[in-house]
Chain A
Amino acid sequence: MAKQISILIVDDEESVRDSLYNWFIDDGYTVECAEDAKKALFLLEEKNYDIILTDVKMPGMDGLEMHKRIRTMNMQPIVIIMTAFASVDTAVQALKDGAYDYITKPFDPDDLSHLIRNAAAQVALKNENETLKKKITTLIDVEDLIGESDAIKNVLSEVESVAQSNSSVIITGESGTGKELIARAIHANSPRKYFPLINVHCGALTESLLESELFGHEKGAFTGATFNRKGRFEMADGGSIFLDEIATITPKMQIELLRVLESKTFVRVGGNKEIASDFRVICATNRDLKSMVKSGLFREDLFYRLNVVNITIPPLRERVDDIPLLATHFIKKYCTSMSRDIIRIESTTMDHLMKFEFPGNVRELENMIERAIVIGNGKEIKLKDLPIIKDISQNSIESLDDLEKKHINQILKKYNWNISRTSRALKVDRVTLYNKIKKYKLEQE
C-alpha cells in the first residue's frame, strides 16, 4: 500500500489552519498544524513531513526564514509558500531558496487541489525512486510472488542466495506453485538480469521441434526451413534459459542437452558451424527426477549436471497463511485489468478458501478469483461465486492419504490393475504408482 502523505500547515491565523486542515483531511492526507515557525521547527525535529504549507507573514520568524532553517536540517520536504500579500519579490526569493511553489491566498479550490496533487505525486515519485534504488541492491520484486509464510520466505531466501551464482538450478514443485515466477526471480536478481530470460516449454514441443527451437536451424535444413533461425540457446547469450517441464524431454534430447551444457557450444540443425553461447540454465519440473533416474527414464549424468541447486516450492496447502494475501493481490490485479472497482472478499468466504486444498495451487486460486470477479455481483466475492462449495461439502474427516488411497484403489479396479493404464489415468508415472501401491499396501482382490 502507498505511504500516506503527511502535510504540516504553518499559519498564525486559526481560521486558515482549520480550513486547510479540514480540506486536506477530506482528501485522506495526514495533517498537522503549527501556529508559528517555532512550533513548526519543533514538530519537524520530532517527525518528517512530506509537504509543508507555510504562510510568509507570521509573528516572530517568517515563512521564508523558516524555510531556510528547514533546508539546513537533514530532511527534504516539499515546501509551498502561501501569503495574503502577493509580491513578486517574495515569490522569487521563495523559489530561489528552493520552495516547490508559491500561492496567494485565497486560492481557487482547483489550484489548491492541483498544487497538492502535484506535490503529492512528486513525493510518491521520490519514495518510489528510493524504493527502486533499494530493490537494485536487494531482492528484485517479481509480480505475483507474494507471501509472508516461513515456507515462501525460505524459498525467497534461497532465490536470493542462488541468484548471484552461475550454477544450474532445478525448481521443483506441484503444478501451479509458481515455478516460472521463481525462475524469473532468480534471473531478475542475477548479474545476467540485463540480458534476456528465454523460456522454453519442453512439454509442449515434439522432439524435432524442440531441437530446432533450442538450437535453431539453417535455411533448407528441413521442409519449411525457408530462412536461418536463431535457437533459444543462442538467444539466451549473456542471460538465462528456463527449461520448463524438463522431465518430458526424450532420451535423445537429454544427450544433446548434456553436450550443450558441458561445452556451451552447439550446432544449428542443418548447419556445420559451432556456435558458442554463455547462458545459465534454470529448469523446472513437477516430477520426481530422482526416481526417474532410478527407473532409467532420465539420464543420471544430466540430472547431476542440472541439479547443482534444487529449490522446492511448497504447495499452497502448506502455506495457508498466504491465501488471504494472494487472494487480495489477485482481486486487485483482475479488478484493475477489468477496469472495475476493487472489490472485497467476504470473511466467511476467506475462511472457506483457507480450508480448501487447492490441488492446482496458486494458479487455481488465481483462476478462482478471476472467475468470481467475472460472475460475481461486482461488490463482494461470496462463497457462491467460488467453485469450492461442492468440494468443501464433500470433505469428510478422512485424511488426504486416506482419500488418495481410496482414489488409487478405485482407478486400479477400473482398469483391472493394469499399471500403465492406471498411471496414465492418474497422470503419474509408473514408478510413482508402484510406490503408492506399496505405501498404501494395496492388493488385487
Chain B
Amino acid sequence: MKQKPIILVTCGHFEQRVIKLISEDITNVFQHPVENKECSLDINKHYNPGRRQYDANGILEYITSLAPEQAIKVIGLYRVDLYIPVLTYIFGQAILNGKTGLVSLYRLRNELYGLERNNDLQIERFRKVIIHELGHMFGLIHCHQTNCVMRSSSYVEDIDQKNRDFCNNCKILLQEKL
C-alpha cells in the first residue's frame, strides 16, 4: 500500500455504503489509501442558466486550486448535470496525468432515459466512471478493448457494456504508472 491518499471530495448527499464501495474499489485498483472529505463548495457560479448545466472545467479548476499537497489525486463526486463547452454533457472529466478529476451521478440515472429506476445499476455505473477518470489521472488513455473500463463511453449503455476492471494491457500500463 502506498502512502499518499486519494481524496474523494463528495459534494451533495451520498450514502456511506456507496462511499465505502467506491473507497474499496479505489484502494484495490490504485493501491493508495482513500480519504473522504465532504465539501460544501459553492458551485453556483459555474451554473450556466442557458444550458441548465454546470461547467465541469470551472469546477475542475476550483477543485485543483483546493487540492491538498499531501494528496496524490483528488476526485470530486457530484450529483449535478455537467458539461464542457463543446459537448452537450459529460459523465466525468479528468486531466490526463493530472491531480484532479470529477464525476457526476446525474446522467447515470435510468430515469433520465425513460427507463425504470435502478439504484444498483446507477451505483455500478458510478463506480466504473470513477475508476475510468482516475485511470486518466494516472496517465491512461482510452482503450479499444470492449470490456476495459478505459473504453470511451458516450452513453450509459456503453458504460454497462464494460467491466469495472482494466484489460491486461491497461493493467500493465497502470502498474508502471503507479
Contact = CB atoms under 8 A, between A and B. Distances in A.
Interface of A: 13, 15-16, 18-20, 22-23, 25-28, 82, 105-110, 112-113, 341-344, 378-380
A25 B152 contact: no
Interface string B48-66: 0001000101000000000
Contact of A112 (B87, B93, B172): B87
Contact of A380 (B86, B142, B172): B172
A22 B57 CA distance: 10
Interface in B115-162: 136, 141-142, 145, 152, 154-155
B142 A18 contact: no
B96 A18 contact: no
A19 B171 contact: no
Closest 10 CB pairs of A and B: A110-B154, A19-B84, A28-B141, A341-B168, A109-B154, A15-B85, A19-B86, A27-B142, A379-B168, A16-B85
B96 A26 contact: yes
B83 interface: yes
Nearest to A103: B86
Contacts of A378: 168
A106 B89 CA distance: 9
Which range contains the number of B residues in contact with the other chain? 20 to 34
Given A108-B154, A378-B168, A379-B168, A25 B85 contact: no
Given A19-B57, A380-B172, A113 B86 contact: no
B168 A343 contact: yes
Given A20-B86, A106-B87, 9 more contacts: A15-B85, A22-B93, A22-B95, A25-B96, A26-B136, A26-B152, A27-B142, A106-B88, A108-B88
A19 B56 CA distance: 10
B71 interface: no
Contacts of B51: 106
Contact of A107 (B86, B96, B136, B171): B86
A106 B85 contact: yes
Contacts of B57: 15, 18-19
B174 interface: no
B80 interface: no
B72 to A, nearest CB: 20
A107 B85 contact: no
A27 B142 CA distance: 5
Contacts of B67: none
A65 B86 CA distance: 22
20 contacts: A13-B85, A19-B85, A22-B84, A22-B93, A22-B96, A23-B86, A26-B96, A26-B142, A26-B152, A27-B141, A28-B142, A82-B86, A105-B85, A106-B86, A107-B88, A109-B90, A110-B154, A112-B86, A341-B169, A344-B172
A309 B124 CA distance: 67
B11 interface: no
B167 to A, nearest CB: 5
B169 A342 contact: yes
B165 to A, nearest CB: 12
Contacts of A13: 85
A411 B167 CA distance: 51
A435 B151 CA distance: 62
Nearest to A27: B142
Contacts of B96: 22, 25-26
Contacts of A110: 154-155
Contacts of A28: 141-142
A86 to B, nearest CB: 14
Contacts of B85: 13, 15-16, 19, 105-106
A113 B83 CA distance: 16
Contacts of A106: 51, 83, 85-88
B12 to A, nearest CB: 23
Contacts of A18: 57
Interface in B11-58: 51, 55, 57
A356 B171 CA distance: 30
Contact of A379 (B142, B145, B155, B172): B172
Contacts of A109: 87-90, 154
Contacts of B168: 341, 343, 378-379
A27 B152 contact: yes
A82 B167 CA distance: 35
A113 B172 contact: no
B118 to A, nearest CB: 22
A13 B85 CA distance: 9
Nearest to B97: A25
Contacts of B169: 341-342
Contacts of B89: 109
Contacts of A108: 87-88, 154
Contacts of B172: 344, 379-380
B152 A113 contact: yes
Nearest to B86: A19
A19 B84 CA distance: 6
A224 B154 CA distance: 64
A388 B148 CA distance: 33
Nearest to B158: A110
B141 A25 contact: yes
A211 to B, nearest CB: 53
A105 B154 contact: no
